[in-house]
Amino acid sequence: MIAFEKNGLKLEFQLERSAATPNVLTITLNATNSNLQPISEFVFQAAVPKSFQLQLLSPSGSSLPANCEGCVTQVIKINNPQKSALRMRLRMTYSINGQAVTETGEANNFPPAAYQ
């Protein structure tokens, strides 16, 4: 699922739930950059409501090459004991062309299979 797409930055989520831990959703984030300039100092942050537990694992890097010639991946684990509909606020900070950028967004279009 596409979680965020703006100004050449695209965040795609791959969702996975294991039968061993059905309350935990594992999200693999793939961030790509379609701009002509590379993105540096890329940091992804997420927030969920208090009824969820969020764990952000270390990203694969902080640089996104230009023209989608590479990506940064990061694993996100969300414990959802009440099996509530998932809502997530997103914040990305990065530098492009020497300019600091902060983008925010929300991911509210998770399929029901991700939390039920």
Write the pLDDT tens digit of every residue in 18-59.
Answer: 889 999 999 999 999 999 999 999 999 999 999 999 999 999
pLDDT at 92 over 90: yes
Report yes or no: 56 and 46 within 8 Å, Cβ to Cβ: yes
What one-character DSSP code corresponds to residue 66?
A: G
DSSP letters, 53-79, are EEEEPPPS-S-B-GGG---EEEEEEEE
Residue ranges and CATH numbers for the domains of the chain are 2-110 (2.60.40.1230)
φ, ψ dihedrals at 113, nearest 5° = -65, -15
